[in-house]
Structure 1
């Protein structure tokens, strides 16, 4: 625990940078995804959106890495399980339930009964971004139980090969449906490595940080190489199988390698610029509400464009929608926080 105690009272700027980048990236994924489904696959807009969509695939892996890192950073082994759980869950569950209810009443084209919508809360299947929160809750539940194991190299190697094996298996076209349905992005198993990486990194912070800082140039080379492999993989998949979900999903070996090198490269930096730190902290602080709210803003903007017969697959759509989702989500979060302080 010596390494963890050493950094416990120190805010790590690279964490804020990674969370801020991931917040922006997840919005870009959803905006470019909307463009991809509404533009000609031979157009420049389509191909530019596809590249940007893939270059931002580090977002969810990074969020899960940060969850593991943050838990290990603040965890007190002597804490009682229920006290720990209550403290962690109160930070995410109330907002999750509140936003889920908002989506239930404001989404107009979800073909589910109200009963099914309520039940879907436990799985996060009402809308495409909610799956992330139940995964985090499960990871919170198991963290104290496997804490000592997650801090080891053995856990890192086991979960790496487990996830890589799952990702390779899911690329096999004739995989039985009974297997593939249980290994989707909604499955904790599909993300466990990133969480363990976060716990391990934090628990061995000094050693790991010195190593990645020393080898930053090599990490950059590996990041660039994995970026090339990722983009090549995407375009080859879409050429062989014109299925956007299959060709662009998070659940791929190439995304895993790209995400690992991206996370480690960003975490190798230190920042002394106070103004930059404040901006990163602001985005990082409001990242959860931005994540929960921006798909609803995107939903209504897309609906507005369709009703008025405006072009969705355009650069103008991209610019307007991205900044509306980002700034709108940020303002919503600021207003909610001010309202909470009044209660």
Structure 2
């Protein structure tokens, strides 16, 4: 039986998407503008007020995992799906960003091929989010076990 969607989570994700866009559109101004200017203050406030987006996405992901798998699941299928949908895309984008750094910015391979860059999302600044989601997936059986025992 397929569970119904949770409209509130969809709204939270929509608001979070807008917040992520605000973070990305204001970040350059926050870095570049004179910190004493009114423009900087406005952009910095918008940027800071949007910082809830990543924790909100993590919360929404955890909530949906509990909602969909709270009754138990086939862990092999669960991790196979995550491997295909998350880790494979992470690997592809890590390779693309590594190639970009090597070709466009002439970054030496020894600086690109580090544990931090490959395993911890350091290849490009926004990949850290994927690492956090993977950590949630790894911890999910423990969290589910704790939840069921409460």
In structure 2, distance between residues paired with 1:28 and 1:80: 38
- Structure 1: which 5+ residue stretches go unaligned? 154-343
- SS class of match (2:61): helix
Answering whether residue 54 of structure 2 is matched by residue 60 of structure 1, we say yes
Distance 1:49 1:78, change over 3 A: closer
Between the aligned partners of 1:112 and 1:70, the Cα distance in structure 2 is 41
- Contact kept, 8 Å, 2:70 with 2:144, in 1: the verdict is no
Q: Equivalences for 1:1-343 in 2 at 5 Å? A: 9-75=3-69, 77-107=71-101, 108-109=104-105, 111=107, 113=109, 116-117=112-113, 119=115, 120-150=117-147
> 2: distance between equivalents of 1:126 and 1:110?
14
Q: Could you list the per-position Cα deviations for residues 286-321 of structure 1 after superposition, in whole angstroms to 9, with x for gaps in the alignment?
A: xxxxxxxxxxxxxxxxxxxxxxxxxxxxxxxxxxxx
Asked if structure 2 preserves the Cα contact closer than 8 Å seen for 1:35 and 1:49, the reply is yes
Counterpart for residue 295 of structure 1: none
Aligned residue for 2:127, secondary structure, equals: coil
Q: Bigger relative contact order, structure 1 or 2, given CA contacts below 8 A and separation 6+?
A: 1
Instruction: For structure 2, list consecutive stretches of 5 or more residues without a partner in the other structure.
Output: none
Deviation at 1:151, TM superposition (A): 6.0
Larger radius of gyration: 1
User: 1:139 & 1:149 partners in 2: Cα distance?
Assistant: 14
Deviation per CA, 1:58-101: give whole Å up to 9, x if none: 10010100110111122165433222211233221222222222
Maintained 8 Å contact 2:98/2:112: no
The 2-side partners of 1:89 and 1:65 are apart by 20
- CA spacing shift, 1:54–1:71, aligned 2, 3 Å: same
CA RMSD of aligned residues (A): 2.5
SS at match of 1:10: coil
